[in-house]
Structure 1
């Protein structure tokens, strides 16, 4: 994958490193556009197999999102609210003169993509939505209260939010906290060069704090395991409409962080849903099963 990045300064003052590539004969501003949003704890290279496969026909835009890799990494958690994260993508699309496009998101990038589709940000520009192992916020928040498997799988978030771990982040970067919170061992499926790249990015204390700030700025609260498995009396979902644009969900079915209960009830929340389940694949479906993901995306775009 061509990894020539450009630096884009947004009106907010945030600067993002962005991969912007497309058909060499047409120029990167022609043809249909795909905007790819990576998740935690990665970078634009989450999409290396997809961009390699689709950039001959589509303009592919993949930022290192706020807080990641070499992009701006403000240290205050208040800089990572969902409104600001959505705003980054809207401002980026404007800065790169993007008209209509397909929005593709994985993990926390998928959370941003869901939010953009649900709230109607850029509603006249998003033609399709593609989600890879990122839960619908209504389903996920409910499961945290009533589903023991999801609550247990999400306890790491409570550790990420614990300020007592800030000294560890500052002294040694992100990796020791991943080991502490997730018993992180890495993946045998990841190429050594990709692993080395991530380890270098994680070693930057400012980047490590910024990445954890995504979890501290308003994502769903995770109850402790000894809390009752029931919805609170005041529980309610925001009065938002269904996702109306055609939506593809590709889900690695061996995801340890997101049990497949997250797939239940999506037909009631998405008007035009295509669901592709990938067996024998974990959370990082984009590079753990790139052939299956790319085939699903190819069919959906066609």
Structure 2
């Protein structure tokens, strides 16, 4: 029975991958015939970073080799103070946490990491290196390399997906945690399979299973996707920081491989740690999130005890950049609770 279900699930995933890929291919073909000389597939060269990536008030770049991977991170604040580790999602890098780095470096030692495959961290070839268990181990060894036994975790999108797994295995290493705009794998799988809303929201996860085409799509019109995702909330120079980072050679394959390596077939159940005390947690979800359903909140509270759930009004999926003042206030209120 289990084998039959797995085969059916695989067939459905492949059909959905082909379906959404066909729509994207049709759009590309139409675009080519309308503007055959536009070279919309070419990304312009960006040899120099925009000035906003060189600002020292965000922090100082450092590197560490953990789990066989060289990770880049940016740190700020006093290393003698409690550590906050910021873990970004897709399509982001450490820079997504710039507002939080400035705010919380006053009271904490803050570290924002480029996850494997992203930014200036190593980008291993193939799909298997991007399985979630590898990133969980990356984070564990990173915390150990920073010589800390306890950490406050703050994570967004794919970073949150990974950190829910981290919590299930290493809750003893966590003082507090704040997750944003992504539930755990079992909850996401349940929502995709049982609700039309989350199923429709997750269309791109099926498209991202296709080889090469997702990278081509993201690169189109000089990485126009980043304008569509961020331009409403951040200035042109900050959008250029994302384009500069993702225009680099092989900068997109690693991030998309997170989807390929961790599709619905690989969503193993995350054990609930009833036998130990859960660290206090906060799950934030943007009111206007286009990718994650608000139904994820109560389900996450069932899985993780001692977890608060808040809808952040007026913001979308990238809430820490959309309204950093509000998000920072909610974070600080939570972190200062006794």
TM-score scaled by structure 2?
0.76
Q: Which of the two has greater helix per residue?
A: 2
Match of 2:272 in 1: 240
1:60-119 superposed Cα distances (whole Å, 9 cap, x missing partner): 01111101111101121100111100011111111121221111100000111111012x
1:181-209 superposed Cα distances (whole Å, 9 cap, x missing partner): 99956431122122101112222241111
Contact 1:19 1:62 in 2 (8 A): yes
State the aligned residue count.
278
Unaligned runs of 5+ in 1: 23-27, 223-234
2:329, 2:223 → 1: CA distance?
34
1:235-273 superposed Cα distances (whole Å, 9 cap, x missing partner): 984543368211011211100011212123333222112
Contact 1:5 1:18 in 2 (8 A): yes
TM-score scaled by structure 1?
0.84
2:225, 2:68 → 1: CA distance?
33
Compute the displacement of 1:14 (Å): 0.7
Q: 1:269 to 1:175 in 2, by over 3 A?
A: same
Compute the displacement of 1:221 (Å): 5.0
Aligned pairs (5 A) from 1:1-302: 1-10=57-66, 12-22=67-77, 28-118=78-168, 120-121=169-170, 123-163=171-211, 165=213, 169=215, 174-176=218-220, 184=228, 186-221=230-265, 237-241=269-273, 244-302=278-336
Compute the displacement of 1:3 (Å): 3.6
Q: 1:175 to 1:196 in 2, by over 3 A?
A: same
Contact 2:283 2:297 in 1 (8 A): no
Q: Which has the larger radius of gyration?
A: 2
1:257, 1:150 → 2: CA distance?
7
Contact 1:113 1:129 in 2 (8 A): no
Contact 1:178 1:184 in 2 (8 A): no
Compute the displacement of 1:56 (Å): 1.2
Compute the displacement of 1:288 (Å): 0.5
Contact 2:298 2:309 in 1 (8 A): no
1:31-58 superposed Cα distances (whole Å, 9 cap, x missing partner): 1110000000011111111111110110
Unaligned runs of 5+ in 2: 1-56
1:110-141 superposed Cα distances (whole Å, 9 cap, x missing partner): 111111012x23x3221111101111322211
